[in-house]
Structure formats: structure tokens, C-alpha cells
Amino acid sequence: MTEPLLDIRGLTKSFGALVATDDVSLTLRPGEIHALIGPNGAGKSTLIKQIAGGLPSDAGEVWFAGQNVTKLTTVARSRAGLGRTFQISSLAMEFTVLQNAVLGALGQRGTIWRFFSPVMKNPELRAAAMAALERVGLADHAGTRTAELSHGQRRLLEVAVALTLKPRVFLMDEPMAGLGAEGSKGLTTFLDDLRREAPILLVEHDMDAVFALADRISVLVYGKVIATGTAEQIKSNRDVREAYLGEEEAL
Amino acid sequence: MTRESLINTALFLMLPLTAGAAWMLDEPFIITLATKVAILALAGVGLNIALGLGGLVSLGHAAFFGIGGYAMGILAHHAQNYTPLMEAPFLIEGTNAMPIIWLVAVIAGALAALAIGALSLRTSGVYFIMITLAFGQMLYYFAISWPAYGGEDGLSIYVRNGFPGLNTLDPVQFFAIAFVILAVTLFAAGRLAASAFGLALSAARQNAVRVETVGLSPYRLRLLAFVISGAITALAGALFADLNRFVSPTMFSWQMSGEIMIFVILGGVGRLYGPVAGAALFILLEHVLGGLSDFWHVYLGILLLLVVLFARGGMIGSLAGREVAHD
């Protein structure tokens, strides 16, 4: 068994009396997609925030590539290679699509302390940004203002910016949300290939996508992981059916 | 050429054309007004890097303007009295050479901005406004209570400081100095906005979380922007003191901070030439309306209200339309 790249050990977070994350442990191994599912309010986004930085944990540790990153800032974790996408698109809305992608390429290369040469004319950064946009199919919109993109296109741009970071692990918070059936299918195919570049911790509500993609699935309910296993194991797990899948019998 | 760059060119030429025409008509007062516009615009260009590009609403930029003013005042005061600034541990003499005064002003402004910024930037929003205001007021009262350099009365410098090869007392030549500095700073500020640093700083204004996620620290970006901003405003302060041959605590007052901010807002926040347009309009109003009524600030207030309510891009925004992306 390969060494996990991301190893979450006993993470806990409470907001007053509400325990949002309750002793969660899970791992992400090279080459896999590990899906995190759970009903609304189960604490999925809280957990992603604790892993990516920005929300300190009450207890537990986050190990990334053999290094304890629990105390590191969001910036340091991004530098180390955690590439995150957001549930609610978090982009520079006044920028063009290309500018957002160049910003990602810039962060990854650490060439930020340049004050005099025009950044948008830097061939290396442009090439890296365009390559990422092409992969998600946004190359034709490179000159569009981000604020003018459709909701689905913004989701794709989130993914493209994450690609420019060349992360060692992807943390994706509901990348399919709002994409529509067609878009979801396209992104599913894309993520299926992407796992070979870096493993993906995928929070997703789209069950078709989850069952098609995930090597392993963890189910989070009220901040607790109630089960971890393959798609088949999860589908047949009684607790999971009761707590979660039962509500969506149509699946 | 886009409409905005046409407007910028017109604004850029407006100052030397005005000064040139006034020189031919032998109207030194108009030349002095044009010089004042150039210097105040320079202060605004400084603030605009923090406010427009970085989204840092500083109500304490008079601190840097005043530091620049006192850098000139203190150095020139010692030079004109033939007293050394400091004797131990080593001798520092005053000076009346503009280039040295500018250098001291820029360094002092940058250091002050580093200290003030390092503390203020830990807050945001209304707290940032308040803490920058507080620093400005601290320096204001410090200047008032410092008798060695004139206290409340300020310092008068009888002869304008010198620049090698120029007669700085000639209004046109002093205008040329101020204008060239403004032009060079505008060029540098334009390059800065389009640089890697400018892109990241602008992104930090729009969405700080996004910037962190790509592995950049918004705090460090903002701090450096604040330092550059403070240094430029301090340089403007040194020139302003030389224009008046007088420096007083008024340069540190919060009204001064407000005026610099008004230049930026009137002209257009984040627009490169916004402060030039804003300072020109402000001085024009001061002299046209000020001639009609002592209460001209009422009209300025109404104008500012209209700009904020209906023309968020300021004068340049209304004339040139929405900002064109740098691509």
C-alpha cells in the first residue's frame, strides 16, 4: 500500500456547543479520488477549510507529504502544494479570465516581486495560464471579464486556476455544483484523468459523479465519518443508507 | 489609443501648457497654481497606489505628506541657521539641496509607512480607516508640541532650496521640477499597476482569499504597497513645503488626508491619472468658487456627493467609461 499523501488525524472543530468536525481521520493516496459525501450541514466545507487552512482546528493534525502542516497558514499550505477550489466561486471578478489564470501561475512561480515589467506580456506565465484554460475549455473566453462568466464557467475557471498551481493534491469543494448535466459529464471525464497528476479529495453532491469517479468514499454525518469504503461498500452500508442515501432512494 | 489614454494625454499636457501660457502672459501666480496642482496630484498618485490599487482606505496620508514637509523644513532650517542637525555620535549638517532633501523625505516616508502599515494592516475596513487616522493625528500633535521646530507656528524657510543648474525661485523652473517628478512617478505607477506585483495587489483588493489560495500573502503585498504609497506622498510633501517655503503642523492634519483622498475620488479611484484630474479640479474650484464665497467647500461637498452617488469612476470614469482590462 502506498504512503498517503494527505493524512488527516483526528481533526476536531466545534463552534460553541455545535461540533462541526468530530474526530475525523481520513487519508488520500497517490492516484486516487477520495470522495467526501454527506447531507447538507454535515461539516464537509468546514473540514475542507481545516485542511486547506483558514480555520484552525481544536484538535488533531493534518499531515501533507510527510510534513505536519497543522500550524501552517493558508499561504504556506498552498505553497506546499494544496490546490483548493471553492464551493462558492472565489475569483477576482474584475479581472479577465486570463488574468485570474495568470495570477495562479504567478503564485506557483513566486515571481511576485517584479514591479516594472508588464505581467500580462510575460510569455511563460501566459503559456501556463492558457494551457490551464484550454484544458477546462475556457480558452475562447480568455479575454472575458470574470464577472460576465456564467456560473458554470466560473466553476471551470476555479478548476483552471487550481491547475496553474500544479498542486500535489487537489481539494475540490463541489466542483460540479451548477454545471448542469452536460457540464458535469465533461468535468467527470476530466477529473477521471486528472487523478493521475495529483490525487483529489472531492466533496460532491452529484452522486452519479461520485460513484463514477471515487476510488473510496467517506460519509460524513454531523461531523463524524460514519463509513469509508468503495462505492459498492458504501451503497450497501446500512448506516449510510439510513443516514443519507435513504433520503434519495431515486438514486 | 483608447479613450482613457487620450484623456490621460490631454490631462498630462494641460499642466505644462497652462504654465507655459502663464509664463508668456507673465502671470506667475497661475504658474504657482499649476505647480500646486502637480505637487498635490503627486500626493494623490501616492495615495492611489494604496487606495485604488490596494483598496486600502487610508485616512492618514497626511502623516507622510507632513513627514516629507518636515524633512524639508528641518534640513533647510539647519542650513539657513548654520547649525548642525546633530553633533554626536557623528556630525550631520542641514542642507538646502533639493535632491538630498527628496531622498531623505522618501526614506523617512517609507519607514514611517512601514511602521504604520505593519500595525494598521492587521485590521481592515472601518478599523483601518480609524487607525490610520489616529497615526496621522498623533504626528499632528507631536509636531505642534515640538518647540525646536516651530511648534504650532511651523518653520519658515526664507530662500527656496536649490537644484543644481536651476534657479528654483523662478516659478517656471520650479514648476518644471515638480512636473518632471510627477511625470516620472506617473510612468512608474503605470508600470507598477501592470506588473506582477500590481496584478497580485489588485487581486488582493478584489478577493484576499483567492490570493492566499494561490500561495501569496495579501498582508505582505499590502504592506509593500503602503510603503511605496507613503514614500511618494512624502516626496510630494517635501515639494509642497518648498513651494510655500513654509511648513507647519497643518500638513499633518486630518483635513489634509481628506483633501488628498478627495483628489483621488474626484478624479477616479484606481485610475492612473485620476489624482491629476482631481487635484486640477480641486484647485480650480478653490480659486473660482473661493473667489465668490468663503463657503466654497459647500459646493465642493455637493460635487463630491454627486461623484460618489452617480459617477463612481470619478471624472475619468465618467469620460472614459469602464476600465479596460490590461489585455
pLDDT in tens, B148-175: 999 999 999 999 999 999 999 999 999 9
Q: Is the pLDDT of residue B85 over 60?
A: yes
Residues A97 and A148 in one domain: yes
Residues A15 and A68 in one domain: yes
- Is A91 touching B (CB cutoff 8 A)? yes
Residues A94 and A210 in one domain: no
CA distance A123 to chain B (A): 13
- Is B322 touching A (CB cutoff 8 A)? no
Q: Which of A73, A95, A100 to mutate to test the interface with B (most CBs of B within 10 A)?
A: A95
Residue A205 — very low, low, confident or very high, per pLDDT cuts 50/70/90? Answer: confident
Q: What is the pLDDT of residue B30?
A: 95
- Is A157 touching B (CB cutoff 8 A)? no
Q: Which chain A residue has the Cα nearest residue B188?
A: A116
Pairing of strands A67-68, A59-64: antiparallel
Mean pLDDT calculated for residue range A92-114: 89
Q: What is the pLDDT of residue B327?
A: 47
Tell which of A124, A140, A166 closes a domain. Answer: A166
pLDDT, tens digit, 9 for 90 and up, residues B26-49: 999 999 999 999 999 999 999 999
Q: d(Cα B255, Cα B234) in Å, to the nearest integer?
A: 16
Contact B326 A92 (CB under 8 A): no
Q: Which chain A residue has the Cα nearest residue B196?
A: A119
Residues A67 and A190 in one domain: yes
pLDDT, tens digit, 9 for 90 and up, residues B37-80: 999 999 999 999 999 999 999 999 999 999 999 999 999 999 99
Q: d(Cα B216, Cα B214) in Å, to the nearest integer?
A: 6
Class of B3-320 per CATH?
Answer: mainly alpha
Mean pLDDT calculated for residue range A151-170: 93
Q: Is the pLDDT of residue B1 over 80?
A: no
CATH code for position A219: 3.40.50.300
Q: What is the pLDDT of residue A1?
A: 55
Tell which of A166, A196, A217 closes a domain. Answer: A166
Q: Is the pLDDT of residue B220 over 80?
A: yes
Q: Is the pLDDT of residue B141 over 80?
A: yes
Q: What is the pLDDT of residue A244?
A: 67
Which of B27-36, B91-100, B253-262 is predicted with the least confidence, judged by mean pLDDT? B91-100
B2 by Cβ neighbours in 10 Å (0-12 / 13-18 / 19+) ranks as exposed
pLDDT, tens digit, 9 for 90 and up, residues A121-142: 999 999 999 999 999 999 999 9
Residues A37 and A158 in one domain: no
Residues A125 and A224 in one domain: no
Residues A176 and A251 in one domain: yes
Cis check for the bond before B89: say yes or no (omega within 30 of 0): yes
**Which residues of chain A from 120 to 139 reach within 8 Å of chain B, CB to CB?**
120, 122, 125
The share of chain A scoring above pLDDT 90, in percent, equals 66
Q: d(Cα B85, Cα B80) in Å, to the nearest integer?
A: 12
Q: Is the pLDDT of residue A250 over 70?
A: no
Q: What is the pLDDT of residue A247?
A: 56
Residues A1 and A70 in one domain: yes
pLDDT, tens digit, 9 for 90 and up, residues A27-44: 999 999 999 998 888 889
Q: How far is CA B285 from the centre of its chain?
A: 19
Half-sphere exposure of A158 (CA within 13 A, CB side): 27
Q: What is the pLDDT of residue A217?
A: 94
Mean pLDDT calculated for residue range B102-107: 98
Residues A218 and A245 in one domain: yes
For residue A27, the cross-strand partners are A7
Residues A180 and A74 in one domain: yes
How much is the mean pLDDT over chain A? Answer: 90
What does pTM read for this prediction?
0.93
Tell which of A134, A166, A198 closes a domain. Answer: A166
For CA atoms B230, B153, B280, B258, the dihedral sign is: positive
Residue A47 — very low, low, confident or very high, per pLDDT cuts 50/70/90? Answer: very high
- Is B148 touching A (CB cutoff 8 A)? no
- Is A147 touching B (CB cutoff 8 A)? no
How much is the mean pLDDT over chain B? Answer: 93
**Structural domain containing residue A217:** 1-81+171-251
Contact A113 B212 (CB under 8 A): no
With cell 493625528, the residue in question is B137
- Tell me how many domains chain A contains: 2
- Is A55 touching B (CB cutoff 8 A)? no
Contacts of B313 in chain A (CB under 8 A): none
Q: Which chain B residue has the Cα nearest residue A170?
A: B213
**What's A30's DSSP letter?**
T
Residues A207 and A109 in one domain: no
Contacts of B210 in chain A (CB under 8 A): 90-92, 100, 103, 161
